[in-house]
Structure 1
Amino acid sequence: MSEQEWTAFEVSVADHIAQVTLIGPGKGNAMGPDFWRELPEIFAALEADDAVRAIVLTGSGKHFSYGLDLAAMAGDIGPVLADGAKARARTTFHDTITRMQGAITAVADCRTPVVAAISGWCIGGGVDLISAADIRYASSDAKFSVREVRVGMVADVGSLARLPAIISDGHLRELALTGKDINAAHAARIGLVNDVFDDQAAAVEAARATAAEIAANPPLVVNGIKQVLDHSRSADVNDSLRYVAAWNAAFLPSEDLSEAIAAVFEKRPPKFTGA
Structure 2
Amino acid sequence: MADNLVSLQVKQSGHVAEVTLLGPGKGNAMGPDFWRELPVVFRELDADPDIRAIVLTGSGKHFSYGLDLPAMMTEWGGMLGGTALAGARTEFLAKIRTMQDSVTAVADCRKPVIAAVSGWCVGGGVDLIAAADIRLASADAKFSVREVRVAMVADIGSLQRLGGIVGEGHLRELAYTGKDVDAARAEKIGLVNDVYADQDALLAAAHELAASIAKNPPLVVQGVKDVLDHQRAPRVADGLRYVSTWNAAFLPSKDLGEAVQAFLERRDPEFSGE
TM-score (structure 1 length as normaliser): 0.98
What is the distance in 2 between the residues matched to 1:186 and 1:83? Answer: 39
Task: Give the deviation of 1:76 after TM superposition.
Answer: 3.3
Match of 1:4 in 2: 3
In structure 1, the residue matched to 2:175 is 176
1:115 match: secondary structure: strand
Q: Is the 8 A contact 1:81 1:258 kept in 2?
A: no
Alignment of 1:183-194 (within 5 A): 183-194=182-193
Q: Does 1:133 align with 2:113?
A: no
Tell me which residue corresponds to 1:155: 154
d(CA) in 1 for partners of 2:80, 2:215? 50
Alignment of 1:6-25 (within 5 A): 6-25=5-24
Q: Which amino acid aligns with 2:249?
A: A
**How far apart in 2 are the matches of 1:119 and 1:81?**
33
One-letter code aligned to 2:244 = A
Residue 118 of structure 2 corresponds to which residue in structure 1? Answer: 119
Alpha-carbon shift at residue 251 of structure 1 (Å): 0.3
Match of 2:62 in 1: 63
CA displacement, residues 179-225 of structure 1 (integer Å, 9 cap, x when unaligned): 00010000000000000000111111111000000100000000000
Quote the offset at 1:118 in angstroms. 0.1
Deviation of 1:83 (Å): 3.2
> Secondary structure at 1:122's aligned position in 2?
strand
- Residue of structure 1 equivalent to 2:51: 52
8 Å Cα contact 1:76-1:96 kept in structure 2: no
CA apart distance, 1:13: 1.0
> Counterpart in 2 of 1:259?
258
* Contact 2:18–2:56 (8 Å) recurs in 1: yes
The code of the aligned residue for 2:162 comes to L
Aligned-partner residue type, residue 194 of structure 1: N
**AA in 2 matched with 1:118:** V
Q: 2 CA distance for matches of 1:141 and 1:62?
A: 9
Q: Is this contact kept in 2: 1:76–1:93, CA < 8 A? A: no
> What does residue 85 of structure 2 align with?
86
AA at the equivalent of 2:167: S
CA contact (8 A) 2:82 2:252 kept: no
Residue aligned with 1:137, SS: strand
Residue pair 2:80, 2:89 contacting (<8 A) in 1 also? no
Query: In structure 2, what is the equivalent of residue 230 of structure 1?
Result: 229
- Aligned-partner SS, 1:237: helix
The one-letter code matched in structure 2 to 1:15 is G
DSSP-derived class of the 1:77 partner: helix
Gaps in structure 2 of 5+ consecutive residues: none
Shift of 1:168: 1.3
The structure 1 segments of at least 4 consecutive aligned residues displaced by more than 4 Å after TM superposition are none
- Structure 1 residues 230-266: Cα deviation after superposition (integer angstroms, max 9, x where no partner): 0011111011000000000000000000000000000
Task: State the superposition RMSD in angstroms.
Answer: 0.9
